């Protein structure tokens, strides 16, 4: 990493030039961009300057490459990181990118763990670090329970802001890790666990810099002098917000978010189930209660090992370095006093409301033989938190980072790769998913760690593959295992809701109903909005005409499937 002033000291062949851009062109583009944002806000990167693996961690993530790399470390390497300080600066940078053909990869906090972090899909792109300087809570309305944010506001930041500025009655909804950006998570369609957990549904109004540098506001924001930008999502005419999520059609500089008023009462709970085979019955019951609104949030159904991994690495439990057997997992479940499946949920509202919810939950789940339940117990001084204590915080919107624990299951400083297919919320589908993944994981030597989450009606299966990136064989296995799983899933009609950079092209190619009409539609929009192809080329498998079909797409590995 070198500052702009040292750019002239770098040899041309050290620069990570993007396609169609010469070293001289890149130098000129970065010099012009520095005039917009200031020299200190342009950091140039080379293969040599990548942050060493020993230094990268959650609070000190590399901005130029993926900390949890699966392909070679420098495959998804940025040429530079540029940090704008205002919408005006973003617009000016975008215009320069069009002039010099330098691709921009916008991130907010860039903590997209397991999906590529802040690394760009196309090598040589400039990471646009939206969160570094644009990190203000712009407005909070106690009346409407809304806020307006810049990209650099993390869940911790928002929580602390509300607590220290007289808005304690407003709750936030955070995902498992509180250090991510509210805007970044919402744009990648992440989720949390209060009744406001479906983040994209809870956003209201965006300000977006389009790929030609023009600035637009969505919803009521398009009406000058409006007073409902953060309260009515749609405005008039076609509703464009969706096309700015998981996309490369615009850079979001502001977003409105709905906040939940304190519900007047809260109680977290845990139902544990002793048998691996209990999964289908659990899912059948959750679906009914969730769609009926008795369960007001998205509860998680976690397997034993994901809980075990929060407490400590695999070596704390066993000397077996291979895939654990069902009996070994049973023993771990006994040791840490959880089930083979565990529902961590919560009830919201005043006591009479919670009493009614509880009666329905208890009547349903306790019919499953061997089921038990508990509520979080007050902790004695010095007593460590249980997973239930941790989830109790997450489910009421207290941001935390407890879940980082399970990254180190396989090895110290372990890596994570996320695999997240969607299916109907039925017992049959949950079982099919579980068997599909555990079969492949056994084949490739990974322990299954996963969570099932029932959203509004569908089942998110969140599979956490932890691996040792220092071992190229493990990286290869992780890569191949997920490639095969994407195809396994597609054959059953399941598709992923989000993915790592490595798999964007493959997943876009399986969403191919009617000759790939959906990808064609996205490409049509891409070419109309971004004719020079400068904004996040390849994001979600959408390539601009200039770069399409030139070999930048990552195809499934051609190697025969052998280990
Ligand atoms: P987080 O830190 O919350 O995990 P990121 O900042 O890594 O989130 O963002 C996740 C993804 O969302 C990025 O890879 C990028 O594709 C997209 N994204 C993030 N911020 C913006 C933005 N301001 N405008 C457009 N896309 C964005």
Contact 247, 540 (CB under 8 A): yes
Q: What tokens does 263 get?
A: 């519900």
Query: Taking the CB of residue 11, how many other CB atoms lie within 10 A of it?
Result: 8
pLDDT value at 164 more than 80: yes
- Sequence-ordered list of residues with C-beta below 8 angstroms from that of 308, at least 6 positions apart, any chain: 317, 332, 336
Domain map of the chain by residue range? 2-129, 137-261, 266-470
- Helix (H) / strand (E) containing 451: strand 450-454
pLDDT band at 483 (very low <50, low <70, confident <90, very high): very high
Q: Ligand 1 centre and the CA of 106: distance in Å?
A: 6
**From 100, 317, 348, 497, the catalytic residue:** 497
Q: Which residues pair with 416 in a beta bridge?
A: 466
Query: What pLDDT is attached to residue 1?
Result: 55
Average pLDDT over residues 29-54: 94
Average pLDDT over residues 78-86: 98
Is the Cβ atom of 106 under 6 angstroms away from ligand 1?
A: yes
- Sequence-ordered list of residues with C-beta below 8 angstroms from that of 262, at least 6 positions apart, any chain: 168, 169, 170, 171
State how far Cα 310 lies from the chain centre: 19
Query: What pLDDT is attached to residue 59?
Result: 87
Give tens-digit pLDDT for 349-393.
999 999 999 999 999 999 999 999 999 999 988 888 999 999 999
Query: What pLDDT is attached to residue 56?
Result: 78
Domain 266-470 fold? Vanillyl-alcohol Oxidase; Chain A, domain 3 (3.40.462)
Is the Cβ atom of 364 under 6 angstroms away from ligand 1?
A: no
**Which atom of ligand 1 lies nearest, measured to the CA of 115?**
14
DSSP class of 135: -
- pTM for the structure as a whole: 0.96
Q: Which residues pair with 207 in a beta bridge?
A: 217, 254
State how far Cα 481 lies from the chain centre: 20
Query: What pLDDT is attached to residue 57?
Result: 85
Domain 137-261 fold? 3.30.465
Is the Cβ atom of 180 under 6 angstroms away from ligand 1?
A: yes
Q: Ligand 1 centre and the CA of 284: distance in Å?
A: 34
Catalytic status, residue 100: no
Shortest-distance Cα residue to atom 4 of ligand 1? 112
Catalytic status, residue 498: yes
**Which atom of ligand 1 lies nearest, measured to the CA of 111?**
2
Q: Ligand 1 centre and the CA of 361: distance in Å?
A: 37
Rounded to 10°, the helix 87-100/23-37 angle is 160
Among 66, 82, 108, 152, the mutation site with the greatest number of ligand 1 atoms within 8 A of its Cβ is 108
**Which atom of ligand 1 lies nearest, measured to the CA of 182?**
3
Nearest to 453 by CA among 410, 489, 431, 420: 420
**From 69, 100, 115, 269, the catalytic residue:** 115
Nearest to 11 by CA among 30, 24, 29: 24
Average pLDDT over residues 177-204: 96
Catalytic status, residue 290: no
Q: How far apart are CA 518 and CA 501, in angstroms?
A: 19
Among 85, 106, 218, the mutation site with the greatest number of ligand 1 atoms within 8 A of its Cβ is 106
- Helix (H) / strand (E) containing 549: none
**For domain 2-129, which architecture applies?**
2-Layer Sandwich (3.30)
Shortest-distance Cα residue to atom 9 of ligand 1? 184
- Sequence-ordered list of residues with C-beta below 8 angstroms from that of 511, at least 6 positions apart, any chain: 495, 518, 519
Query: What pLDDT is attached to residue 559?
Result: 61
pLDDT value at 465 more than 90: yes
Q: How far is CA 514 from CA 100, 243, 325, 496, 517, in A?
A: 37, 20, 42, 19, 6
């Amino acid at each position: 990493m070198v500052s702009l002033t040292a750019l002239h000291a770098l040899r041309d062949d050290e620069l990570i030039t993007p396609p169609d851009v010469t070293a001289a062109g890149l130098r000129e583009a970065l010099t012009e961009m520095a005039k917009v944002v200031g020299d200190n806000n342009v950091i140039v990167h080379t293969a040599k300057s990548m942050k060493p693996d020993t230094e990268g961690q959650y609070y000190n993530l590399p901005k130029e490459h993926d900390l949890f790399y699966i392909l070679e470390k420098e495959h998804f390497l940025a040429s530079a990181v540029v940090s704008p300080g205002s919408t005006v600066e973003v617009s000016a940078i975008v215009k320069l990118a069009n002039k010099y053909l330098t691709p921009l990869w916008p991130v907010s906090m860039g903590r997209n763990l397991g999906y590529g972090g802040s690394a760009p899909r196309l090598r040589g792109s400039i990471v646009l670090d939206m969160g570094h300087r644009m990190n203000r809570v712009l407005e909070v309305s106690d009346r409407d329970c809304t806020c307006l944010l810049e990209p650099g506001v993390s869940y911790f930041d928002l929580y602390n802001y509300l607590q220290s500025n007289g808005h304690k009655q407003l709750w936030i909804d955070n995902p498992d890790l509180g250090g991510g950006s509210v805007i970044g998570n919402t744009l990648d369609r992440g989720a949390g666990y209060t009744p406001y957990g479906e983040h994209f549904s809870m956003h209201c109004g965006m300000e977006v810099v389009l790929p030609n540098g023009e600035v637009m506001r969505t919803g009521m924001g398009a009406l000058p002098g409006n007073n409902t930008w953060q309260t009515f999502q749609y405005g008039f005419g076609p509703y464009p917000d969706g096309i700015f999520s998981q996309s490369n059609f615009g850079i979001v500089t502001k977003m409105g978010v709905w906040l939940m008023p304190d519900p007047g009462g809260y109680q977290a709970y845990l139902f544990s189930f002793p048998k691996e085979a209990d999964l289908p019955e659990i899912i059948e019951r959750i679906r009914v209660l969730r769609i009926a609104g008795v369960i007001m949030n998205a509860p998680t159904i976690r397997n034993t090992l994901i809980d075990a991994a929060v407490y400590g690495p695999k070596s704390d439990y066993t000397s077996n370095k291979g895939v654990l057997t069902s009996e070994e997992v049973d023993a771990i479940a006994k040791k840490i006093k959880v089930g083979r499946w565990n529902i961590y949920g919560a009830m919201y509202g005043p006591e009479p409301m919670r009493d009614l919810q509880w009666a329905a939950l208890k009547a349903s789940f306790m019919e499953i033989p061997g089921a038990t339940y508990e509520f979080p117990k007050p902790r004695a001084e010095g007593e460590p938190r249980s997973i239930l204590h941790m989830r109790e915080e997450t489910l009421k919107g207290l941001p935390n980072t407890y879940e980082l624990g399970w990254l180190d299951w396989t090895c110290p400083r372990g890596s994570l790769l996320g695999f997240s297919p969607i299916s109907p919320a039925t017992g049959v589908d949950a079982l099919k998913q579980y068997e599909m993944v555990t079969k492949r994981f056994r084949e490739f030597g990974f322990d299954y760690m996963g969570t099932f989450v029932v959203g509004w009606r569908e089942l998110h299966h969140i599979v956490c593959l932890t691996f040792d990136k220092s071992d190229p064989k493990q990286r290869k296995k992780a890569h191949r295992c997920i490639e095969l799983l994407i195809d396994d899933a597609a054959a059953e009609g399941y598709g992923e809701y989000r993915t790592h950079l490595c798999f964007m092209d493959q997943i876009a190619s399986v969403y191919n109903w009617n000759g790939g009409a959906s990808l064609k539609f996205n490409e049509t929009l891409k070419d109309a909005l971004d004719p020079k192809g400068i904004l996040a080329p390849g994001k979600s498998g959408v390539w601009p005409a200039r770069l399409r079909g030139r070999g930048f797409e990552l195809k499934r590995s051609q190697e025969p499937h052998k280990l």
